Amino acid sequence: MPANATSAALELFDHHRDTLERAVQAIAERGYWSPFPESLRQYPEEAVMGAQAEFEALLGRHFALAGPQPIGRSGAERSPYGFELGVTYDQYDTDELLERQQKALPGWRDAGARARVGACLEILQRLNALSPALAHAVMHTTGQAFMMAFQAGGAHAQDRGLEALAYAWRAMAEVPETACWIKPQGKQDPLLLDKRWHIVPRGLSLVIACSTFPTWNTYPGLFASLATGNPVLVKAHPGAILPVAMSVKVAQEVLGELGFDPALVSLVVDTPEAPVAQRLALDPRVRLVDFTGSNAFGEWLEQHARQAQVFTEKAGINTLIIDSTHDLKAVAKNLAFSLSLYSGQMCTTTQAIYVPRDGIRNGDEQLSFDQVADTLASAINGLLSDNDRACAVLGAIQSEATAARIADCRALGEVLLDSEVREHPQFPGARVRTPLLLKVDASDRAAYAQERFGPIAFVIATDDSAHSLRVAREVIAEKGAMTLGVYSTDAAFLYQAESLARDVAVALSVNFDGGVFVNQSAAFSDFHATGGNPAANASITDGAFVSRRFVTVQSRRPAVLSWERADDLL
């Protein structure tokens, strides 16, 4: 493989080395850090001003990418804000595409860790520059409101990509490149071997993107695999192809400019009628699968893609336990935002809220269950009373199925707050819905202990807080959860909550009543999912997320050593 490509990529490694080193420091400390600004004001004015036009110029056209000879075209994305995107993408013969990536693998592998990481760092920087335009593409595929699409789909996704890259780099750098092995033999000459170690990728990596976070949930697997030497097939969700295609294009440009085969990162598109993920995931050449999406398909992958290392983020019953509060209004305000943000379509949004049926202590007062439920409902109403603000928080519902689910779920409990259809100020055709809040009894497990994706939450009456803990433990152990929020003023209860979190391996957020929300997960600090309960078999990003993407191959041969050097080394 092109020595020129390698040396150009090594220059990029040197160029971006400070960022990489800071990222490695960040994953070791896990305090706050982000290299990619989340404020539009920190991006060049022309990029921000021109972003919408840049996005619109892509609509109604074919989106070209590098790859083998196309055999067809596909693409039928419709914005949740009510219009067709009209973008088409190439489809390839699977076998030809996989062969092409297989052929490119040795060159990419042999370029070495530094060169690969250098190229990845450059890709991330260019993705960051593209953030304003990407935001429109994310908005009009996922339904996220613009600012969220800009932040979560742009800087935060890039943060997650860099975080995975830092983990991959650290894991590779922990394997020495060479060593001299000198084993003393008493009075005889020592045994000498020269050894070297190669980082060897698993094979082809399939990253299956989702429709709600097509960049945020895709970049970690993409960069972890690519950095460790695995060519990557990104299979976009048919409803959210464009932001993935734009991302793949950036990767292909960097790879191509360096002299590598741009098809080392390739886009795969399909249709709901003729899905390809299942077939690809079972291909013997595919050795890594990253997936975000439904439990059904995630579990299918875990069961069937036996030739591959499979990393899944599925769904669970995100849980909140209210035991006691100092200021329920502040709590309710926090929860109202959390439940409304992106209409509850985050994999971290709370679904099950346990409250003792006899109510809770709030500061000096005792509040009944209904008072707690009403305070929460009122807070949601308050947050969403201004329609413009409501639309900026809610965004739009990504799929018709989610909108239909809201209606289907109304009968599952007593309606505390009904979901409303709202009209978007700019996009009259947008699918905007406010949260549905239902009251159920802890015994109604069939209602609340099943994932109800979308703006649907249950306030669940329990015998007492100990009962809340018990039910939450059972439900999370069986169904999993990405998040557990707990409100209590009692240190002993919080200790029990911490034990629960450890026992069922779920991330815990305690007494959030300010400007941080249980459904937020910050790169370089928060581990997203633990990988230890049924909601996900992997964490974004920990050591296990990267260490299984490569193996180490050693080579050793007898060394001839001058005695001077031996003396130095012994």
Chain positions contacting its own copies, by CB under 8 A: 28-32, 106, 109-110, 170-171, 174-176, 179-185, 191, 193, 195, 197-198, 200, 202, 302-303, 306, 498-499, 501-503, 505-516, 522, 525-527, 530-532, 539, 542-544, 547-548, 551-558, 569
Q: Which is nearer to its own copies, 24 or 76 (CB)?
A: 24
Check: CB of residue 394 under 8 Å from CB of residue 435: no
**Given the complex with its own copies, which of 7 and 499 has the nearer CB atom?**
499
Cα 472 to Cα 33, 147, 445, 508: the distances in Å are 33, 33, 11, 13
For the bound state, the minimum distance from the C-beta of residue 74 to its own copies, rounded and expressed in Å, comes to 34
Nearer to its own copies, 392 or 544 (CB): 544
Tell me how far, at minimum, the Cβ of 178 lies from its own copies, in Å: 9
- Comparing CB distances to its own copies, the nearer of 199 and 437 is 199
298-301 own/partner pairs: CB under 8 Å, 24+ apart:
298/537
CB neighbours of residue 382 within 10 Å: 13
Beta carbon nearer to its own copies, 406 or 482: 482
Cα-Cα-Cα-Cα dihedral of 100, 102, 108, 109, to 10°?
A: 180
Is 232 or 529 the residue whose CB approaches its own copies more closely? 529
Q: How far is the CB of 427 from its own copies (least distance, A)?
A: 29
Q: At which residue do the structure tokens 């799929």 appear?
A: 399
476-479: long-range contacts, CB 8 A cutoff, minimum separation 24: 476/316, 476/317, 476/319, 476/504, 476/506, 476/533, 477/503, 477/504, 477/533, 478/449, 478/534, 479/316, 479/317, 479/449, 479/450, 479/451, 479/534, 479/535
Query: Smallest gap, in angstroms, from Cβ of residue 553 to its own copies?
Result: 5
Residue 7 or 42 with smaller CB distance to its own copies: 42
Q: Which is nearer to its own copies, 238 or 298 (CB)?
A: 298
Please state the closest distance from residue 207 (CB atom) to its own copies, in A: 19
Q: How far is the CB of 174 from its own copies (least distance, A)?
A: 7
Residue 502 CB, nearest approach to its own copies (Å)? 5
Q: Which residue number, 256 or 532, has a Cβ lying nearer to its own copies? A: 532
Nearest to residue 33, comparing CAs of 43, 42, 22? 22
**Four-residue CA torsion sign, 443, 447, 453, 457:** negative
Residue type for 431, please? R
Between 111 and 246, CB nearer to its own copies? 111
> What whole-number distance in Å separates Cα of residue 149 and Cα of residue 138?
6
Q: Which two tokens stand for residue 79?
A: 């914005």
Residues constituting the chain: 570
Give the Cα separation of 131 and 139 in Å (integer).
12
| Burial zone of 295 (CB within 10 Å; 0-12 exposed, 13-18 middle, 19+ buried) | middle
The 3-class SS string of 536-549 reads ECCCECCHHHHHCC
The pair of structure tokens assigned to 250 is 């950036």
Alpha carbons 361 and 327: distance in angstroms, whole number? 10
Residue 360: which of 499, 488, 265 has the closest Cα? 488
Helix axes 131-142, 113-129, angle to 10 degrees: 80
| Tokens, residue 412 | 């599952």
- Minimum distance from CB of 504 to its own copies (Å)? 9
Q: Which two tokens stand for residue 89?
A: 């993408």
- Measured from the CB atom, the residue of 109 and 116 that comes closer to its own copies is 109
Cα 97 from Cα 270, distance rounded (Å): 14
Q: Shortest Cβ distance from residue 388 to its own copies (Å)?
A: 22
Q: How far apart are CA 355 and CA 485, in angstroms?
A: 12
Alpha carbon of residue 269 to chain centroid: 20
Nearest CB to its own copies, comparing residues 415 and 559: 559
Could you tell me which of 534, 548, 541 has the C-alpha nearest to residue 314? 534
Find the shortest distance in angstroms from Cβ 480 to its own copies. Answer: 12
If the CB atoms of residues 56 and 181 are measured against its own copies, the closer one turns out to be 181
Residue 113: how many other CB atoms lie within 10 Å: 22
- Report the alpha-carbon distance of residue 134 to residue 127 in Å, rounded: 8
Q: How far is the CB of 324 from its own copies (least distance, A)?
A: 15
Q: How many CB atoms within 10 Å of residue 213?
A: 26
Q: Tell me how far, at minimum, the Cβ of 305 lies from its own copies, in Å.
A: 12
- Least gap, CB of 337 to its own copies (angstroms): 14
Least distance from C-beta 327 to its own copies, angstroms? 12
Q: Which is nearer to its own copies, 458 or 550 (CB)?
A: 550
